[in-house]
Structure 1
Amino acid sequence: GIMGPQEAYDLIRALKSNVKVPVFLHTHSTTGLAPMTYLKAVHAGCDGIDTAISCFSGGTSQPHTESMQYSLKQMGYETGLHEKVLKEINDYFKPIKSKYVESGQMDAFVMGTETDALVYQIPGGMLSNLIAQLKAQNAIDKLDEVLAETPVVRKDLGYPPLVTPMSQMVGVQAVANVLTGERYKNISKEIKAYLKGEYGFAPGQVDEELIQKVLGDEKPMTTRFAETLEPIFEETKKQLAGLAYNDEDVLSYIAFPPVAEKYFREREESKTKVVDYIIQKKPEGTV
């Protein structure tokens, strides 16, 4: 939710001038900018925007579908959406939302506007993850400290873009720094791999003291990490014979081995499930 209207306009215009594929924009409502950002993006030629049905919209979610549809319709854009259907969808989900709010699974904080995100430059999805982490550790009272620590960690790491997985990595490190009371006392294996260069080169200058503290005498890579890896696609494809249906399955396994293998096996089991049943003849005279 930290992309502003003019940034969106300039970005979409540049993309539409240089690529031939449809351009979609995804942002969050955390800072309150999203509806304005979306309208400006549409003006620039954006082909699609991500929204959420109103009862689940706002905050770290997306702008409300109904209001965006209404606004775009007034401006002469055809969305293909129908108000009656949108109302039916929203009415269906209202009690479901209430259940999650009452149980505490949906935090009211993440559904509101948090303009501090503009100062800390924390995306909406990252903010909701930080809150979940702190609640899990009974440390939600440390949220303001973690928000202030996040841009410090990002600066030390050379300003990596705060998108998955870097947003989670930066967030986890910021939480660790605050909860331990000492900066970089605990370093995750992902941050260590990042400092070694396994996630590519940092956009900015990484803090030299941090590199020394984490890597010691080991030097960061000067080449692409991918160039140090042996090709494994064909070998993996052979290993997955009978489980992987296509190249996409093979790539899924390479990226997420445990998750993919579990999915493949469940997929196979669903084909061979046996159901036992008995057919009994009804007594004469019964219906």
Structure 2
Amino acid sequence: MSAPVTPALVRIRGLHKHFGRHQVLEGIDLDVPAGSVTVLLGPSGSGKSTLLRCVNHLEKPDAGFVEVGGEIIGYRRDGERLRELPDRAVTRQRAKIGMVFQQFNLFPHKTVLENIVEGQLAAGVRRKAAESRASELLAKVGLAGREASYPRQLSGGQQQRVAIARAVANDPQLILFDEPTSALDPEMVGEVLGVMKDLAAAGLTMIVVTHEIGFAREAADQVVFLDGGRIVEAGPPGEVLANPRNERARAFLSAVL
């Protein structure tokens, strides 16, 4: 008897994106099952970050679509056509998708607690409940007792852990990570990856752009390798990382490993 197939939370079909004459994404098709971790690998300029930003409509696709939880992000169907949604509707959709950037993007004039509370208040959560949730999340990322600190008083790794807590505060369906450790000193990388592994173990659906091969090997359910705006290799980490079939993927992995 075959195992049940986990339905895709994210469906990407025929995704194209260009900037001027430069084609960045060329016909991306990808499914991300609910509760899974997908790691995007590839050389600089391969389209990884652009693909991630198309998922929450920070970049508008030129063709194709991204569907999250059965809802096309940024558009509505009108017969055979897709009609662009107004900004307010796109903002509502984005509330279901958390994102952690390379830079921490914390408000420097707000405390750690206020940084996490802000988005919850915008979503209609009462302040007392939002503050309680923020304190709970800070404890989970190893920062209990730092509620009154300001970002400048924290290390880079601590700031990124606050950013992760902020991203999960509204219980999103999906969390996107765009090279979350690339701006960190090497000794701080492990603490951030540890929090991400905990999120993965808790069953959150994640798409992660990273060069941290160890994280991909330990936490990913699927590894997707991009080159020249196309998916050239995809599969379980044990296959893609240990025995890639694509020549470009083999060269890249041999260099980073």
Give the TM-score, by structure 1 length: 0.26
Larger helix proportion, structure 1 or 2? 1
Greater C-alpha Rg: 1
Between Structure 1 and Structure 2, which shows a larger proportion of strand residues? 2
